[in-house]
Amino acid sequence: MLRKLLKHEWKSVSKVLLPVNLGIILITVIGCIVLNTNIFATKESFPIALFMLIFYLLSLMTFASITLIFVYVRFYKNLFTTEGYLMHTLPVAPIQLFHSKLIVGFSWSIFNCLLTLFSTAALGFSAIVRVAKDENIDNVYRFFLGDSISNNHNQTFSFAEMFGYPPATFVILLLLLLLTGCLVSILMGYLSILLGQLMEKFKLAASIGFYIVIYLIMQMVTSVAILLPNSNLLLSAMDNDSSIYFSNVFYKNLFPASIISQLILCIIFYLAAYFLIRRNVNLD
């Protein structure tokens, strides 16, 4: 039955989120084409470039927000409004309904994050190649391949020395960070909605309030988990005159702390949501 729920949920969600997320591909293609023209060759074109950059960043934020908000709204409407009367008459346990929403919502969140990552990487690469045509393009390729290059201060450094990990390891850790971050975001929204249902009145407003409180607490916990254990290393890096050394220490400690803290939050949020979804549902 879970497979049927997933199939129905995926089709319903795709009707809205597929066109939304394909918009990321559209602005990426347009951006890459524009970057390979001479439109930014003069100083007078700086305002246009700044406007396009702001528009691009706002577009990515909008697409991500629409994806996340739609997933939250669908979870709330399907299970806790008048639509919930039909959903809860199905011959399935509430936890199966929850899992179907979680899996599909998480999948679309991941899809959005990967498209965003692909978009920024494609535009960044196009910009680097465009600039490198007038510079030393070999240095750009060598840097991303993990070889050492020299800067204007005659410092020799490689990708691993700057970002703390070889390129392949960096990408893997970045993907793990995105996976755990997306799961935390979905579970946090679902948990907030479930907590809001415990209120007798103003359940939607209570859900939004719970979301804000949980988000703030999560940010504080994550910040402490990242900064506190590594404060001495970060301070020593800041005392060192080398920005490359600081960057190396920062990224080397950022990924493990962030991934572990987010995994812990995933477990806590899931267990709390699992407990709440098994309670009797009080529909609006």
Phi-psi region of 162 (alpha: psi -120 to 50; beta: other; left: phi over 0): alpha
Does 99 or 32 have the greater pLDDT score? 99
- Choosing from 135, 152, 173, the residue where a domain stops is 135
Same domain flag for 76 and 186: no
Q: If you average pLDDT over residues 248-277, what whole number do you get?
A: 86
Report if pTM > 0.85.
Answer: no
Phi-psi region of 154 (alpha: psi -120 to 50; beta: other; left: phi over 0): left
Same domain flag for 117 and 182: no
Q: Is residue 203 part of a domain?
A: yes
Give the per-residue pLDDT at 186: 95
Same domain flag for 3 and 130: yes
Same domain flag for 233 and 271: yes
Q: Is residue 140 part of a domain?
A: no
User: Domain of 235?
Assistant: 165-284
Q: If you average pLDDT over residues 9-32, what whole number do you get?
A: 89
Same domain flag for 3 and 92: yes
- Choosing from 84, 117, 135, the residue where a domain stops is 135
Give the per-residue pLDDT at 171: 84
Q: Is residue 156 part of a domain?
A: no
Number of domains in the chain: 2
Q: Is residue 4 part of a domain?
A: yes
Q: Is residue 44 part of a domain?
A: yes
Q: Is residue 149 part of a domain?
A: no
- Choosing from 115, 135, 155, the residue where a domain stops is 135
Same domain flag for 113 and 241: no
> Which of 275, 79, 284 has the alpha carbon at shortest distance from 202?
284
Give the per-residue pLDDT at 261: 86
Same domain flag for 88 and 188: no
Average pLDDT value for the chain:
79
Same domain flag for 98 and 16: yes
Same domain flag for 271 and 227: yes
**pLDDT over threshold 70, residue 137:** no
Q: Is residue 150 part of a domain?
A: no
**pLDDT tier at 263 (50, 70, 90 boundaries)?**
very high
User: With 0-12 CB in 10 A as exposed, 13-18 as middle and 19+ as buried, what is 70?
Assistant: middle
Q: Which two tokens stand for residue 115?
A: 């498209």
Same domain flag for 172 and 256: yes
- Percent of the chain beyond pLDDT 70? 72
> Which of 89, 79, 110 has the alpha carbon at shortest distance from 186?
110
Give the per-residue pLDDT at 278: 80
DSSP code, position 150:
E
Helix H or strand E encompassing 118: helix 94-132
Does 126 or 151 have the greater pLDDT score? 126
Write out pLDDT tens, residues 168-195: 888 888 899 999 999 999 999 999 999 9
Q: Is residue 155 part of a domain?
A: no
Does 258 or 279 have the greater pLDDT score? 258
Same domain flag for 120 and 209: no
Residue 106, Cβ neighbours under 10 Å: how many? 17
Same domain flag for 81 and 179: no
* Phi, psi at 149, each rounded to 5°: -135, 170
Phi-psi region of 202 (alpha: psi -120 to 50; beta: other; left: phi over 0): left
